[in-house]
Amino acid sequence: MGGNGELGYQWEPVGYEELAWRVDPDALEGVPKSRRRKITGTYRAAVPFELRDKGILIPAELQSRMEEVAFLLVRFDAQQEARGYDLPALLLRSESAASSQIENMTSSVRNVALAELSSDVAQNARIIAGNVAAMRAALGFSGELSVERIREVHEALITRGGQDGQDAGLSFGGCLRDEQVWVGGTAYSPHGALFVPPCADRVPGCLDDLVAFVNGSNMPSIAKAAVVHAQFETIHPFIDGNGRTGRVLLHAILRSSDVLRHASLPISAGLLHNIDAYMDAIVQFQAGNPLAIVEQLVDALELAVAVGNMVARDIDGVFAEWAECMHERKGSALLRLPNLLAKQPVVNGSFVAEELGVSMRTAATIIERACEMGMLSPMGNRRRGVFYQCDELIAVLEDVSSMQGIRRILAGKQG
């Protein structure tokens, strides 16, 4: 289904208003005259429709798919609660990598895990690690969503990702924008952009409406999450990081709706496999069709469950192999290392010592034994220190954090 039928366009489209644009001659230096002529003294910015009283008519086929995927999510969630290791922590990395790939940012799973312990890594790895931090912040919420909590998610995303301070000392993590932004087009004006979100003065009111809808609507949780995500992208409340923050909110809403109480899933992997359809669904939403983005989220959740089950099966196999190799006495700190590696597949001595509550000397012994077993391998001496990586867990995550891996899973699911 494409959500393009008469039933799809249930709401009024996003409105527009004409606003003044200050033409800065200095900023246009070097811009071809043909482009300068297109930059006028006014531009059109979106005026989003209000959500708080919106309802949605869902076709029977889509309703059935939503109910089926909700059942799969609840079952997957229960299975993860019963596991002894932190699979959600591993899947957070897959989710963050896929969400960042939608923004054309890539990095290896190893470097992202390393970025959580060291700042001396490539910028993309730090940015994706910021996405992991934002996910953890959102999934740690309890109670109703608020504008302040949305800002906290963005602050974790930007500050932990090392993006603050890159533009003339500007710190913007968690700060609502006070300037016009636009999607596509050129860097020097909104003229010719693909989409121009609302002016900055409208952002607080739009977010208040969004939050009121989240906390007051009885719309089915999956449909609600999809609608909130699309509306958030329409508002674009921050100067950067809106796409990643909006995809984090998908998880927060599913968590608050008790659909995923314990687990996390790589929902963005499902969106990543067909970016064009995902982007088109947001355009359709802005034109008054909420069904298109709901369908996209249902598709993404179906694939996310398939990815989650595959990762769980592979990690279970890795843990079983390790268990056969470990003959330490009961109570040995080494027996707790696998669960720690599920949470953090790149470690150093101080991290192991702190997390397992042992001395640095004992941590060194644990790491040495883990290397003998093949559980860890040294990353080498570096200026930033000595780190060790869990090759087997990283390999599993790399396989589901790339376009090729996602497409392979999708092909297997359809077959």
Binding residues: 240-247
Distances from the Cα of 351 to the Cαs of 358, 380, 387, in angstroms?
10, 16, 10
CA 97 remoteness from chain centre: 8
The residue among 243, 291, 236, 285 whose CA lies nearest residue 268 is 243
Q: Which residues are annotated as a binding site for ATP?
A: 240-247
> Could you tell me which residues come within 8 angstroms of residue 302 by beta carbon, excluding any fewer than 6 positions away?
65, 69, 72, 270, 413
Query: Is 236 assigned a catalytic role?
Result: yes
Compute the distance between CA of residue 380 and CA of residue 370 in angstroms, rounded to an integer.
Answer: 16
Residue with tokens 């699309």: 230
Compute the distance between CA of residue 313 and CA of residue 309 in angstroms, rounded to an integer.
Answer: 6
Catalytic residue among 154, 191, 229, 236: 236
Q: One-letter amino acid identity for 40?
A: T
Backbone angles phi, psi at 140, to 5 degrees: -85, -5
> Could you tell me which residues come within 8 angstroms of residue 390 by beta carbon, excluding any fewer than 6 positions away?
341, 345, 346, 375, 376
- Residues with catalytic roles: 236
